[in-house]
Amino acid sequence: MDRLPLIAGNWKMNKTYQEAEELLNGLVKGIDNNLEDREVLICPPFPFIDLAVKLTEKTPIKVGAQNLFWEEEGAFTGEVSGKMLNSIGCKYVIVGHSERREYFQENDVLLSKKLKIALNNNLVPILCVGENLPQREAGQEKDVVKSQIINALDGFIAEEIKKMVIAYEPIWAIGTGKTATPEQAQEMHNFIRLTIADKYGFDSAEEVRILYGGSVKPDNIDQLMSQMDIDGALVGGASLKAESFLRIINFQ
């Protein structure tokens, strides 16, 4: 089946309000408002989400969040709920980015709760999976990724899996300038799809979109997107400049 490509920009912890406004205006000015053959998403820091929703209102650009809490509401100082994100116009949320796993010790059991909360609040979760350099060098990358997928998706049914997006991010390629070759990325994307098919059925595996995230740039996006099982990109640094992100959006 044809899966609509998704190009997502993860701003991480970058930009002031004024800088965010400038970047958003650049994207709004440069994007093709008749874009129908691909989906575009930006995930700014929490303080800029409302601004992003308002400035992109009449464009194809959708807005998501970089994280959410695993409960609906309550005495959780400093946290942000799925209900809050939905109420201000968020459509997506990133779950389990490698930086959340590393710096905040988020594990698969916790991420499973976040996925459930996201779906309960009509947010499309983008579940991030991927191996680090020692794991890759030891030949453990497939075992690591399979374990992350199976554990995080434990308890979900096939219809719920179809509502999710998975992002494969080789941790050794994030912010390092290194990129998995298109062939390496395709191999892992195909493995992820087969893993989902084995547990949730062929239909789910065919519908779920799998993004590549790991030093995606204007000069490698075309090659990456030419691979059969790569359905889009989760873009970090290159999403912080309108010119480079627009080039990635307009991949050939």
Residue environment code for 167-204, b if the CB has 16+ CB neighbours within 10 A, otherwise e: bbbbbbbbeeeebbebebbbbbbebbbebbeebbeeeb
**Maximum Cα–Cα distance for the chain, whole Å?**
48
Q: Which two tokens stand for residue 105?
A: 């010790």
Active-site residue, from 99, 141, 169, 207: 169
State how far the Cα of 162 lies from the Cα of 206, in Å rounded to an integer.
9
Residue given tokens 């030419």 in the structure block: 226
Active-site residue, from 97, 99, 106, 207: 97
State how far the Cα of 204 lies from the Cα of 252, in Å rounded to an integer.
27
State how far the Cα of 20 lies from the Cα of 240, in Å rounded to an integer.
9
State how far the Cα of 21 lies from the Cα of 27, in Å rounded to an integer.
10
State how far the Cα of 149 lies from the Cα of 36, in Å rounded to an integer.
30
Do the bridges between strand 124-129 and strand 92-95 make them parallel or antiparallel, or are there none, so unpaired? parallel
Q: Which two tokens stand for residue 239?
A: 């999403």
Q: Which DSSP letter does residue 4 get?
A: P
Catalytic residue status for 97: yes
Query: What residues are annotated to the active site?
Result: 97, 169
